[in-house]
Amino acid sequence: MKQLLPQLLLAGLGAAGSLGAARAQCQLQFDPIVWTQVYRDDFNQLDRTEWDTSPDHNTNINAHGGWGSEWYDFNDPSLVTIRQQPNSTNKVLVLTAKRWLDAYGNPVEDSVLNDTQKGTYRPLRYRSGMLISADNPGDYHSKQTSYGAWEARIKCPTNPNAWPAFWLWSGSTEIDILDGISPDSTSPAQAVQNNVIDNLWKKHSASTNPQPNLESCGAKLKAWSALGQPLSTKFSDDYHVYTMVWTPDFVTFFFDGRETNTVPRSAVITRNDWPEIRLSLQMLPWVGKCPGCDPNETAEMYVDWVRVLKPNVIPGQPDYGHPYFSNYSVATNTFKTSSEFLNRDITALATTSSKVNATAGSITTNPNKAGQVFYRGTDNLLYVATQQGTTWTVDALPVPPLANIAVQGDVVYHQANNLVLYRGADACVQGYQFNGSTW
């Protein structure tokens, strides 16, 4: 027997119920007709024809090349290894950082000239591992021309001094797909970031670099930016896929298949070149001394695979054999959905109880209003997420003085009557109705 539907005409959504704003996300989805994988390394073995292990391509051990307080000792094979995963046949690349010790086992505190013009020095206290594309560009190699998609599956270190990075570099452009900032922390101020940098920005004339072009532009994200991840998730808990799609018009970043940031060319200029893939384990702190540091301190960064995809100028015919012909623009619907997904950041200012309930039937869209979604929270109350421009706000629908209104499932929207309906805890059909201005 059907139960009567209680009509709940409630007060408006006040500021007290707001849970902050966040970006809408699209889902990564490569069209196989348009996109072709032109390079992939699953790291079953270390291919020395594809990879070098220092910034200067293993030419000068005395250069102590690096960016943080590490230098990349390409003479130590233990810093770049292939390791079989426990209880698995799968192998992964392991980049290791170790304290730099002298012949007596004492930690070394040294420095190297970092900027000749400024006369600044960079501290040295770790020896570390990295991979950099070997100088053999062309078909099926890790070094490809600009434009396309680059992605890797990475597990970050647990050591808070570690700065894992997955990035592209050329003389003109740097794109940081994963640029670690205390990636093992869950505090609101810390996360990992992505970034697009114009290496020639300071050299431009007014005619070649008109405002408002910037030197760099990036964004930060948390490990729980992907749907279904709890707030306590850390980048070191598991592997995540970091993806970047680069066209002449924009650079778009994805985290576990969800869009996190897009930088248009109008903000930062990028250029066609031969960028190197760099997988590096940098170390903090970047300045000052480190008295009393543990001489046995280590950090490990794990990489399951890395790959490169290129769009085809002619569908079904990859153009990677013609590198400078790849000055193409690509329709966004060839690599991401047009539907928008909610970023877990929409509830960043809220308590854990307001997250989306993982039970099926916990979310529905409003067909009468584009950009509005209702969902059942983990506290079994109903929430409404509304798109406002490029951001979303989330509000908890006010609870009336009635018993047994907790949401138990089957959240749907009745278009004709502007009703969001759900199965209540008392097994009754319940819901909220829009009266023109409030719920």
Give residue 228's pLDDT. Answer: 55
Give residue 110's pLDDT. Answer: 83
Give residue 391's pLDDT. Answer: 60
DSSP, residue by residue, 304-343: EEEEEEEE-SBTTB--TTSGGG------GGGTB-SS-EE-
Q: What is the pTM of this model?
A: 0.72
Q: pLDDT (tens digit, 0 to 9) for every residue of the chain, 439 residues total?
A: 222 222 222 222 222 233 333 344 688 999 998 898 989 999 999 999 999 999 999 999 888 889 989 999 999 999 999 999 888 889 999 999 999 998 888 888 888 867 655 567 888 899 999 999 998 776 678 888 888 999 999 999 999 889 999 999 998 899 999 998 766 655 555 578 899 998 887 665 555 554 456 788 877 776 665 555 666 678 888 999 999 999 988 999 999 888 888 898 888 888 888 899 999 999 987 665 665 678 889 999 999 999 999 887 655 444 544 444 445 678 888 998 876 544 444 444 444 446 778 788 888 888 888 778 888 888 888 888 887 665 667 888 877 655 566 888 889 988 888 889 888 888 888 888 877 666 6
Helix (H, G, I), strand (E, B) or coil at 168: strand
Q: Are residues 288 and 370 in the same domain?
A: no
- Report the alpha-carbon distance of residue 51 to residue 71 in Å, rounded: 17
- Which residues lie across from 423 on neighbouring strands? 409, 429
Q: Are residues 248 and 351 in the same domain?
A: no
The residues, ordered by sequence, that sit 6+ positions from 116 with a Cβ below 8 Å of its Cβ are: none
SS (H, E, C) 368-413: CCCCEEEEEECCCCEEEEEEECCEEEEEECCCCCCCCCCEEEEEEE
Give residue 389's pLDDT. Answer: 61
- Cβ contact 167:174 at 8 Å: yes
Give residue 225's pLDDT. Answer: 57
- Report the alpha-carbon distance of residue 378 to residue 362 in Å, rounded: 10
Residue 8 included in any domain: no
Q: Are residues 38 and 128 in the same domain?
A: yes
Give residue 383's pLDDT. Answer: 86
Residue 133 included in any domain: yes
Q: How far is CA 357 from the centre of its chain?
A: 23
Peptide bond between residue 160 and the one before it cis (omega within 30 degrees of 0): no
Q: Are residues 378 and 278 in the same domain?
A: no
Q: Are residues 257 and 375 in the same domain?
A: no
Cβ atoms within 10 Å of 143's Cβ, excluding its own: 20
- Cβ contact 390:383 at 8 Å: no
- Compute the CA torsion angle 311, 317, 323, 324 (nearest 10 deg): -90
- Say which residue the tokens 């018009």 belong to: 249
- Report the alpha-carbon distance of residue 333 to residue 150 in Å, rounded: 17
- Cβ contact 419:432 at 8 Å: yes
User: Residues 25-45: pLDDT tens digits?
Assistant: 688 999 998 898 989 999 999
Q: Are residues 69 and 135 in the same domain?
A: yes
Q: Of 334, 354, 381, which residue is a domain's last?
A: 334
- Cβ contact 259:244 at 8 Å: no
Tally of domains within the chain: 2
Q: Are residues 104 and 205 in the same domain?
A: yes
Helix (H, G, I), strand (E, B) or coil at 161: coil
Do β-strands 173-180 and 120-124 pair in parallel, antiparallel, or remain unpaired?
Answer: unpaired
- Cβ contact 41:361 at 8 Å: no
Q: Of 304, 334, 364, which residue is a domain's last?
A: 334
Tokens of 6: 């209680």
- Report the alpha-carbon distance of residue 278 to residue 190 in Å, rounded: 23
Q: Are residues 229 and 145 in the same domain?
A: yes
Residue 4 included in any domain: no
Residue 357 included in any domain: yes
What domain range is 368 assigned to?
A: 15-24+340-433
- Report the alpha-carbon distance of residue 221 to residue 251 in Å, rounded: 16
Residue 20 included in any domain: yes
Q: Are residues 100 and 235 in the same domain?
A: yes
Give residue 359's pLDDT. Answer: 82
Q: Are residues 382 and 287 in the same domain?
A: no
Return the ∠ at Cα 277 (arms to 274 and 280), rounded to 5°: 145
- Cβ contact 22:342 at 8 Å: yes
Give residue 201's pLDDT. Answer: 78
Residue 71 included in any domain: yes
Residue 10 included in any domain: no
Could you tell me the sign of the dihedral formed by the alpha carbons of 168, 173, 177, 183, in that order? positive
- Report the alpha-carbon distance of residue 78 to residue 86 in Å, rounded: 19
Q: Are residues 163 and 43 in the same domain?
A: yes
Tokens of 378: 């983990």
Q: Of 301, 334, 367, which residue is a domain's last?
A: 334
CATH number at residue 74: 2.60.120.200
- Report the alpha-carbon distance of residue 25 to residue 422 in Å, rounded: 26
- Report the alpha-carbon distance of residue 399 to residue 406 in Å, rounded: 9
Buried/exposed 323-359: b ≥16 CB within 10 Å, e otherwise: beebeeebebebbbeeebebbbbbbbebeeebbbbee
Do β-strands 70-72 and 126-128 pair in parallel, antiparallel, or remain unpaired?
Answer: parallel
Residue 326 included in any domain: yes
Q: Are residues 95 and 161 in the same domain?
A: yes
